Amino acid sequence: MISALLFPGQGSQEVGMGKELYEQLPQAKEILDEACETAGYDLKDLMFNGPIEKLTDTQFAQPAIYTCSAMYLEKAKLNGIEYSYVAGHSLGEYSALYAAGVFSFSDGLRLVCKRGKAMSAENGKGIMAAILGLEESELLKYLDGIPDVVPANLNTKTQIVISGTESAVDKVAERLADREEIRVKRLNVSAAFHSPQMKNAAEVMTKEIENVKLHEPTAYVVSNVTGKPTKNLDEIRANLLAQITGQVRWYDSIIAMKNAGVEAFYEVGNGQVLRKMNKAITLQPKCLSI
């Protein structure tokens, strides 16, 4: 059976994440202990005890989510789950690359810590909002002529997150105000992720990503920015460089894996964000939680 592992991104964090695994699974304990040493602070205490305000801060949320997903990956391996494809939503792409053996856990965590800090530096410069009920082609008409706003996360066919300045996002909401069947929901995020406003963060990460040692993947990696599977290291590196300012084409990613013959999806990490999203994309194959 062809299987795929899916890894969640920011928004899946919560106080207590990974605690049960840490207490019950020696391999998961080793991962978190290594993470605390690599990160240089008590990540375990933050994950287990919060406070949620600090855990939600981008610079801490990203290392916590990446680490927690690595802990769940150990559980997946013990359960005998074999996989031919990996994909991660936004930050989750780093977890997917680790699962495919593209870089070591500690190398990935160092990248994630720097990514979180670089993106956190852009706090307060933009917002994001989910548009529910419109397909991409129709949404683009409502964005036409409004600068500083882009479709950032194409989560399902009719759930698209836009990202940009507050005034630009508000203008889009105003244009949609007479469409009662369309919902516009502002997200509780601190910046305009996956938009040109992340340019400075992308510049910070370029040197880091270019210098990290990558290994041939053991599974196909489905990139956020292309929504297509690849095992080519040059493509993987280029896609990772483009990801901070580029789109998360999650719908395309899931459909690409389904068309490639994937018969089972497994969400590897805290929560069930991707499981719920996948249900809106395709009923078969189902997405199961590890």
The set of catalytic residues is 90, 194
Beta bridge partners of 151: 162
Cα distance between residue 9 and residue 170, in whole Å: 25
Count how many residues are written for the chain: 290
Kindly report the number of other CB atoms within 10 A of residue 70's CB atom. 26
SS3 letters for the chain?
Answer: CCEEEEECCCCCCCCCCCHHHHHHCHHHHHHHHHHHHHHCCCHHHHHHHCCHHHHHCHHHHHHHHHHHHHHHHHHHHHCCCCCCEEEECCCHHHHHHHHCCCCCHHHHHHHHHHHHHHHHCCCCCCEEEEEECCCHHHHHHHHCCCCCEEEEEEEECCEEEEEECHHHHHHHHHHCCCCCCCEEEECCCCCCCCCHHHHHHHHHHHHHHHHCCCCCCCCEEECCCCCCEECCHHHHHHHHHHHCCCCECHHHHHHHHHHCCCCEEEECCCCCHHHHHHHHHCCCCCEEEC
